[in-house]
Amino acid sequence: MKLSTVLPLAVLACAGSGLAVLSPEPDYQQLFAERDVDAAAQFLERRQQGIGGAGQNGPGYQTVPSVPFNGDDSLPYSPPFYPTPQTKGTSQKWKDAIGKAREYLQQFNQTEKVILTTGSGWERGPCVGNISPIPRVGFPGLCLMDGPAGVRGTDRVTSFPDAITAAASFDRDLFYKRAHALGEEFKTKGANIWLGPMMNVARTPLGGRNWEGFGADPYLNGEGSYYSVLGAQDAGVQATLKHYINNEQEHFRNEGSSNLDSRTEREIYLHPFLRGVQAGAASVMCSYNLVNNSWACQNSELLNNRLKTELEFPGYVMSDWGAQHAGVASANAGLDMTMPGDVLCCSLQEGSLWGGNLTTAVNNGSVATTRLDDMATRILAGWFLLGQDQGYPKANFNFFDKKDPATNQHVDATADHDKIAREVASAGTVLLKNRRNALPLNKPGSMAVIGSDAGPLYQGANYWPDRAQNGGLPYGTLGQGWGSGSTDYSYFFSPYEALQSRARKDRTGIAWNFDDFNLAQSVMIANMTDVALVFVSAESGEGYITLDRNEGDRNNLTLWNQGEQLIRNVTAVNNNTIVIVHSTGAVDMESFAENPNVTAIVWANLPGSESGRALVDVLYGDYNPSGRLPYTIGKNRTDYGTDVLYYNDTVTPQINYTEALNIDYRYFDTKNIEPRYEFGFGLSYTKFAYSGAWTQQVGSADNSWWGSANASTGLPEWLFQPKYEVTFSLTNAGDWDGHEVWQAYLEFPRSAGEPPKVLRGFGREKISKYNTKEVKFHLSQYDVSTWCNDKQQWLQPEGKLKVLIGASSRDIRQAVVLN
Ligand code: NOJ
- pLDDT tens per residue across span 211-225: 999 999 999 999 999
Which pLDDT does position 715 carry in this prediction? Answer: 73
Which pLDDT does position 177 carry in this prediction? Answer: 98
- In three-state secondary structure terms, 744 is strand
Q: Are 14 and 321 in contact (CB under 8 A)?
A: yes
- Which one is predicted more confidently, 67 or 470? 470
The topology (CATH level 3) of 686-817 is Immunoglobulin-like (2.60.40)
Which pLDDT does position 37 carry in this prediction? Answer: 54
Give me ligand 1 centre to Cα 697, in Å.
Answer: 44
In this structure, of 60-69, 314-323, 506-515, the range with the lowest mean pLDDT score is 60-69
pLDDT at 407 over 70: yes
- DSSP letter at 670? H
Which pLDDT does position 264 carry in this prediction? Answer: 96
Which pLDDT does position 651 carry in this prediction? Answer: 87
| Averaged pLDDT for residues 460-488 | 89
- Tell me the sheet residues that pair with 284: 241, 317
Quote the pTM value.
0.93
Task: List, for residues 261-320, the tens digit of each pLDDT value.
Answer: 999 999 999 999 999 999 999 999 999 999 999 999 999 999 999 999 999 999 999 999
Which pLDDT does position 68 carry in this prediction? Answer: 62
Q: Are strands 654-656 and 722-732 parallel, antiparallel or unpaired?
A: unpaired
Helix axes 110-117, 369-385, angle to 10 degrees: 60
Alpha carbon 487 to its chain centroid, in Å, reads: 14
The topology (CATH level 3) of 92-386 is TIM Barrel (3.20.20)
- Determine whether the shortest distance from the Cβ of 250 to ligand 1 is under 6 A: no
Which pLDDT does position 1 carry in this prediction? Answer: 28
Which pLDDT band holds residue 640 (cuts at 50, 70, 90)?
very high
3-state helix, strand, coil in the chain (%, to 5): 30, 20, 50
d(CA 520, CA 148): 41
Tell me how crowded residue 62 is: count the other CB atoms within 10 A of its CB: 12
Give the chain's mean pLDDT. 90
Helix axes 563-571, 519-526, angle to 10 degrees: 40
The closest-lying atom of ligand 1 relative to the alpha carbon of residue 253 is: 3
- Determine whether the shortest distance from the Cβ of 286 to ligand 1 is under 6 A: no
Q: Which residues contact 83 (CB under 8 A, 6 or more apart)?
A: 304, 332, 368, 371
d(CA 673, CA 640): 9
d(CA 639, CA 649): 27
- Determine whether the shortest distance from the Cβ of 194 to ligand 1 is under 6 A: no
| Averaged pLDDT for residues 143-152 | 98
d(CA 104, CA 377): 9
pLDDT at 14 over 50: no
Give me ligand 1 centre to Cα 16, in Å.
Answer: 7
Query: Nearest 5°: CA angle at 608, between 603 and 609?
Result: 125
Which pLDDT does position 795 carry in this prediction? Answer: 86
- Which residues does the annotation mark as catalytic? 320
d(CA 180, CA 387): 16
Question: Using only C-alpha atoms, what is the Rg of the chain?
Answer: 26
**Cis peptide upstream of residue 812 (ω within 30 degrees of 0):** no
Q: Are 112 and 137 in contact (CB under 8 A)?
A: yes
pLDDT at 655 over 90: yes
- Determine whether the shortest distance from the Cβ of 140 to ligand 1 is under 6 A: no
Which pLDDT does position 25 carry in this prediction? Answer: 40
Protein residue with least CA distance to atom 2, ligand 1: 15
Which pLDDT does position 735 carry in this prediction? Answer: 96
User: Do the first three CATH levels of 92-386 and 686-817 match, i.e. the same topology?
Assistant: no
Residue 110: how many CA atoms within 13 Å on its side-chain side? Answer: 14
d(CA 300, CA 215): 28
Alpha carbon 375 to its chain centroid, in Å, reads: 28
Q: In 3D, which of 119, 117, 111 has the Cα closest to residue 137?
A: 111
Query: Nearest 5°: CA angle at 525, between 522 and 531?
Result: 100
Which pLDDT does position 17 carry in this prediction? Answer: 28
- DSSP letter at 772? E
**Residue in 243, 320, 466 to alter for ligand 1 test, most ligand atoms within 8 A of Cβ:** 320
Q: Are strands 290-291 and 257-259 parallel, antiparallel or unpaired?
A: parallel
The topology (CATH level 3) of 417-631 is Rossmann fold (3.40.50)
**Residue in 342, 484, 544 to alter for ligand 1 test, most ligand atoms within 8 A of Cβ:** 484
Per residue in 578-616, is it b (16+ CB within 10 Å) or e — as a string? Answer: bbbbbbbbbbbbeebbebebbbbbbbbbbbbbbbbbbbb
**Structural domain boundaries in the chain:** 92-386, 417-631, 686-817
Which pLDDT does position 226 carry in this prediction? Answer: 96
- In three-state secondary structure terms, 336 is coil
- DSSP letter at 84? P
- Determine whether the shortest distance from the Cβ of 242 to ligand 1 is under 6 A: yes
Q: Which amino acid is at 393?
A: P
The closest-lying atom of ligand 1 relative to the alpha carbon of residue 288 is: 3
| Averaged pLDDT for residues 6-18 | 26
In the chain, the N- to C-terminal Cα span, in Å, equals 66
Give me ligand 1 centre to Cα 133, in Å.
Answer: 22
- DSSP letter at 287? -
